[in-house]
């Protein structure tokens, strides 16, 4: 077990989150460096995710490290029935750091128990994806200049969307107000509402994506409403367009409002929003590179300057 592993955003303190954000800022102004020279990073994608893998691999490459690994478990021995433990132990012989994505929930936590090499969780099923959370936090921090006292509106699939759950957990240090906008079937689960109540986080629930909600927001975090989440297909047809955003809806929004989305989007954000200065989802994805550079250096115990 390596204490510098990052499995869940709740593994790290408020101070560590803030330090990582300042380090991400540093990497944004110095993205290319040789600080990982001689290091080998394994990217083990038992479940394919091109977007996340490319972001991690670019982060390593731009810092001068080397990457080994696989992008699809069907090409590895785990498809022949090798246990996760054995795969992790084998790779631990070669790599200084393991970045892994797995379709099973808790896989990364278990991996930390079978090796001394640090593990970064790049997504374990519907469970945790801390580097996504860090890039979301970085995007909020960058666009608002702070994480404190913001009104954040979460829209769409709040039931299954792990990114919104982790964001909720991470934001609790920063006195946020949340608006949860979702249809009945995809509302924020009771355990997260309880989390808010226990931690004294203010939240309001809406089924309407109304101008009042939009105009009070500093951040609107959009997510995709997926057909397969519905038991009743009629219900899906009824709500599928209720949580879409177009440019006109932003007319009276706050000047500092930014629209985020973990991507890929389908039609929940209209193309006409892309040209708005309030659209931030493409830069958000780019921020992932800097956030991941900071996370990788933390896992390897490499000291990085911070930038406000």
CB under 8 A: which stretch of 82-90, 136-144, 221-229, 278-286 binds other proteins?
82-90
Per DSSP, the three-state class of 41 is strand
Catalytic site residue 52? yes
Backbone angles phi, psi at 209, to 5 degrees: -90, 75
Q: Is there binding between residue 48 and other proteins (CB under 8 A)? A: no
Beta carbon of residue 170, minimum distance to other proteins (angstroms, whole number): 15
Active site residue 159: no
261 is catalytic: no
Size of the site for other proteins (CB under 8 A): 16
> According to CB under 8 A, which one of 77, 79, 83, 146 is a site residue for other proteins?
83
Does residue 80 have an active-site annotation?
yes
Residue 229 Cβ, how far from other proteins at the closest point, in Å?
15
Residues 6+ away with beta carbon under 8 Å from 299: 2, 4, 5, 6, 97, 118, 119, 120
Sorted by sequence, the CB contacts under 8 Å of residue 236 that are 6+ apart come out as 225, 227, 229, 230
**Edge-to-edge strands, sheet with 66-70:** 66-70, 40-45, 97-102, 119-124
Residues 14, 103, 238, 286: which binds other proteins (CB under 8 A)? Answer: 103
Select 65 or 161, whichever has its Cβ closest to other proteins: 161
User: Is 62 assigned a catalytic role?
Assistant: no
Q: Does 107 bind other proteins (CB under 8 A)?
A: yes
Supply 79's token pair: 């498809």
CA distance 190 to 153: 18
**Catalytic one of 25, 62, 127, 129:** 129
Indicate if the alpha-carbon torsion angle 301, 93, 9, 13 is positive or negative.
negative
Does position 44 interact with other proteins (CB under 8 A)? The reply is no
Residue 24 contacts other proteins per CB under 8 A:
no
Count the residues in the chain.
Answer: 308
Residue of 25, 39, 43, 52 with catalytic role: 52
Could you say which of 191, 251, 252, 303 contacts other proteins (CB under 8 A)? 191
Contact flag: residue 84 with other proteins (CB under 8 A):
yes
Q: Which is nearer to other proteins, 116 or 191 (CB)?
A: 191
Q: How many C-beta atoms lie closer than 10 Å to residue 135's C-beta?
A: 27
What is residue 124's three-state secondary structure?
Answer: strand
Q: Which of 253, 222, 221 is nearest to 152 (CA)?
A: 221
3-state secondary structure of 204: strand
User: Are 275 and 250 in contact, with CB atoms under 8 Å apart?
Assistant: no
Looking at the Cβ atoms of 110 and 173, the one nearer to other proteins is: 110
Question: Of the candidates 31, 48, 64, 125, which one interacts with other proteins according to CB under 8 A?
Answer: 125
Q: How far is the CB of 111 from other proteins (least distance, A)?
A: 9
Contact call for residue 106 and other proteins (CB under 8 A): yes
101: part of which helix (H) or strand (E)? Answer: strand 97-102
Identify the active-site residue in 80, 184, 227, 308.
80
- Figure out which of the listed residues 58, 110, 187, 306 binds other proteins, where binding follows CB under 8 A: 110
Contact 217, 242 (CB under 8 A): no
Contact residues for other proteins, defined by CB under 8 A: 83-85, 102-107, 109-110, 124-127, 191
What residues are annotated to the active site?
51-52, 80, 101, 129
């Amino acid at each position: 077990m390596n204490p510098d592993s990052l499995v869940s955003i709740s593994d790290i303190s408020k101070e560590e989150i803030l330090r990582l954000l300042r380090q991400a800022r540093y990497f944004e102004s110095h993205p290319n460096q040789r600080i990982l020279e001689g290091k080998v990073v394994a990217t083990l994608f038992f479940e394919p995710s091109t977007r996340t893998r490319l972001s991690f691999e670019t982060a390593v490459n731009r810092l001068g490290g080397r990457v080994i690994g696989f992008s699809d478990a069907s090409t590895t021995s785990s498809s022949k029935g090798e246990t996760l433990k054995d795969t992790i132990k084998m790779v631990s012989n070669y790599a200084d750091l393991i970045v892994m994505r797995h379709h099973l929930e808790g896989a990364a936590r278990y991996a930390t128990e079978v090796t001394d090499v640090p593990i970064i969780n790049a997504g374990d099923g519907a469970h945790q994806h801390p580097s996504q959370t860090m890039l979301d936090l970085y995007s909020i921090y960058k666009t608002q200049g702070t994480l404190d006292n913001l009104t954040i509106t979460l829209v769409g699939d709040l039931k299954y969307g792990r990114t919104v759950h982790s964001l909720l957990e991470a934001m609790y240090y920063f006195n946020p107000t949340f608006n949860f906008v979702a249809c009945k079937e995809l509302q924020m689960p009771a355990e997260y509402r309880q989390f808010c109540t226990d931690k004294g986080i203010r939240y309001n629930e809406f089924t309407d994506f109304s101008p009042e909600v939009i105009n009070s927001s500093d951040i609107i975090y959009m997510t995709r409403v997926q057909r397969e989440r519905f038991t009743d297909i009629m219900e899906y047809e009824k709500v599928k367009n209720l949580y879409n955003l177009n440019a006109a809806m932003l007319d009276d929004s706050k000047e500092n409002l930014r629209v985020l989305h973990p991507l890929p989007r389908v039609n929940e954000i209209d193309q006409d929003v892309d040209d708005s200065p309030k659209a931030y989802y493409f830069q958000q994805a780019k921020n992932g590179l800097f956030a991941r550079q900071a996370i990788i250096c933390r896992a390897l115990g490499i000291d990085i300057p911070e930038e406000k």
